Amino acid sequence: MFNKILTMLLAVTCLGLFVPQQAAAQTADDRNWMSFYIGHQEYDGDYVNEMLQFGVDHDIAGGIGFHRYLNSSFDADLMLTMARLDDEYAPDYFSMYMVNTNFTLNYKFSNGYIFKEESRAQPYISAGVGYSSFVRGSEPDNSTFQVPLGVGVDIPLSDNIKLALKSTYNRSFSDDIDGNTTWDSKDHDDFLVHTIGIKVRLGAARDTDGDGIPDKNDQCPTEIGSAETNGCPDRDGDLIIDTEDRCPNQAGVAAFNGCPDTDADGIADYEDACPTIAGSAENDGCPDTDADGIPDNKDNCPNVAGTEATGGCPDSDGDGVIDSQDQCPNQAGSAATNGCPDNDRDGILNAADACPEQAGVPSNDGCPVVTQEIKDTINLIFNNLIFATDKSVIHESSYDEMDQLVTLMKDNSGLLLSIEGHTDSRGTEEYNQKLSEDRANAVKNYLTDAGISSSRITAVGYGESRPIASNDTSDGQNRNRRVELKVSYQ
């Protein structure tokens, strides 16, 4: 059995030297440990050399140890071992009980320089001073100082328990441990102890902030945190510690240093003008549903393309009045006229204005009112318009009045003239109709020859159909033979 123990000790030691892995280590946060162990010891003295020879029935040892962390490279051990030493082959010659006390310093290979401090196997070598007392039955008792030299390995099983394997060679300063000083040429008796035991932590690991995470594993040992954040506080629970979280009170994502992106549009809420609606960086995180270049949060008509000048709403006629408020969306107008045109600005919309290019009055359908002066002039011309008898030629005596009519039409560019020719009932109806039309056209031709646009003049003949007096008298016939002049702005 002890051959197997020795083989395992050597194998685990080699494993600790060459295969470091992560595990709990004795650190400044868990300085004090205690161990319980059993073992086997081998005597080298005057009677026999039992080094690396195992006598299970005779050389059993056991003890207790106290272990103190000093720094990442050194621990201090105080070991108290009780054992039996004898000559396995002639116990009658030599048999005794021993109490061995060793104080050693351990140099740890798992110190962060050679291997990681939390390696799965943690090897070390040790050296120190010791004192042993021996009880030899009927023989006088003996005691000696010794120099213990050892090699061992700790294998953590949990944060609080380790498997401890160790071999310690004790070089004594006495040749009388076995009561004989003459049978060999050496001046000292030595013994080798192999042990296997369990180390347990004394007291809980230090946890300064009381968050349940030992200080050795706590990246923020003075602030309460959680295991998920290695002991550091994370107020918003987004697994980004507060010291690295730009928004420590709002759960966020690592891409934005802990700040949220509620609408998942790739723009952090603190830079997003529309944090709950996905948008684009060009629009500061807001959408532009109608793709008119105006983000929805600034667009009064987000579903219909418009212009910035009209708050994002359409204005088909470009008059500055949006279509939804424009009574004439396809004709440019003004806000004062609800978007409808009023070319002459007389307050009467073009659609209801008989004279859309001339300022007028409502009572005259938007056309200007013919002044009394113009009416008087027309009456004067009418009363002095004479034709040669039975002809459509204007008499020379009426030329002055005709010239006044030309001047009147030129001075009033919006004025329209209606010329109506009439006759008495003498002659045939056909003849009279022809004569009335010719006389009306004679007046029109006089005006157009003088430069008045024919579009402003209407000439029509009514023949004898519209008498204003009886044709039975000479006076009535004279009154019926006439050319009426009517002016208006319509």
Identify whether the C-beta of residue 350 lies closer than 8 Å to the C-beta of residue 357.
Answer: no
Q: For residue 295, is pLDDT > 90?
A: yes
Instruction: Examine residue 169 and state whether it is found in any structural domain, yes or no.
Output: yes
Average pLDDT estimate for 255-269 = 92
Find residue 155's DSSP bridge partners. 163
Same domain, yes or no: 55 and 181: yes
**Of 293, 326, 341, the domain-final residue:** 341
Instruction: Report how far residue 235's alpha carbon sits from residue 223's, in angstroms, rounded to the nearest whole number.
Output: 12
Instruction: Examine residue 280 and state whether it is found in any structural domain, yes or no.
Output: no
Task: Please count the structural domains in the chain.
Answer: 3
Instruction: Examine residue 455 and state whether it is found in any structural domain, yes or no.
Output: yes
What CATH number should be reported for the domain holding residue 138? 2.40.160.20
Cβ contacts of 430 within 8 Å, gap of 6 or more: none
Ranges assigned E (strand) in 283-433: 416-422
Helices (H) and strands (E) in the chain, counts: 5, 11
pLDDT of residue 8: 43
> pLDDT per residue over 117-145, tens digit each?
888 999 999 999 999 998 876 666 788 99
Instruction: Examine residue 272 and state whether it is found in any structural domain, yes or no.
Output: no
Pick the range with the lowest mean pLDDT from 43-47, 231-235, 416-420, 470-474: 43-47
For residue 128, what are the domain limits? Answer: 2-201
Same domain, yes or no: 337 and 378: no
Residue 9 vs residue 340, higher pLDDT:
340
**Of 201, 229, 263, the domain-final residue:** 201
Same domain, yes or no: 45 and 131: yes
Instruction: Report how far residue 18's alpha carbon sits from residue 118's, in angstroms, rounded to the nearest whole number.
Output: 14
The helix/strand/coil state of 329 is: coil
What CATH number should be reported for the domain holding residue 456? 3.30.1330.60
Report the DSSP pairing between strands 457-461 and 416-422.
parallel
Same domain, yes or no: 173 and 54: yes
Q: For residue 93, is pLDDT > 70?
A: no
Instruction: Examine residue 222 and state whether it is found in any structural domain, yes or no.
Output: no
Same domain, yes or no: 334 and 391: no
**Of 185, 201, 217, the domain-final residue:** 201
pLDDT of residue 125: 97
Q: For residue 20, is pLDDT > 70?
A: no
Same domain, yes or no: 74 and 148: yes
Same domain, yes or no: 20 and 168: yes
> pLDDT per residue over 162-218, tens digit each?
999 999 999 998 887 777 777 777 888 888 999 999 999 887 777 888 888 888 788
Instruction: Examine residue 271 and state whether it is found in any structural domain, yes or no.
Output: no
Residue whose C-alpha is closest to residue 439's, from 474, 401, 390, 404: 390
Same domain, yes or no: 113 and 64: yes
Same domain, yes or no: 19 and 161: yes
Instruction: Examine residue 348 and state whether it is found in any structural domain, yes or no.
Output: no
pLDDT of residue 261: 92
Q: HEC profile for 136-203?
A: CCCCCCEEEEEEEEEEEEEEECCCCEEEEEEEEEEEECCCCCCCCCCCCCCCCCEEEEEEEEEEEECC
Give the dihedral of Cα atoms 471, 474, 480, 485; nearest 10 deg.
Answer: -170
- Give residue 25's pLDDT band: very low, low, confident or very high (50, 70, 90): low
Same domain, yes or no: 50 and 188: yes
pLDDT of residue 326: 84
**DSSP letter string, 100-132:** EEEEEEEEES-SSSSS-TT-SSEEEEEEEEEEE
Q: For residue 23, is pLDDT > 80?
A: no
- Give residue 33's pLDDT band: very low, low, confident or very high (50, 70, 90): very high
Residue 454 vs residue 89, higher pLDDT:
454
Average pLDDT estimate for 59-66 = 91
> pLDDT per residue over 161-176, tens digit each?
999 999 999 999 888 7
> Using CB atoms within 10 A of its CB, is residue 476 exposed (0-12), middle (13-18) or buried (19+)?
middle
- Give residue 437's pLDDT band: very low, low, confident or very high (50, 70, 90): very high
Same domain, yes or no: 318 and 377: no
pTM: 0.46
Instruction: Examine residue 268 and state whether it is found in any structural domain, yes or no.
Output: no
Same domain, yes or no: 426 and 466: yes
User: How large is the C-alpha radius of gyration of the chain?
Assistant: 63
- Give residue 48's pLDDT band: very low, low, confident or very high (50, 70, 90): confident
Mean of the per-residue pLDDT values for the chain? 86
> Which contiguous run of DSSP H or E holds residue 66?
strand 60-69
**DSSP letter string, 14-30:** HHHHH---------TTS
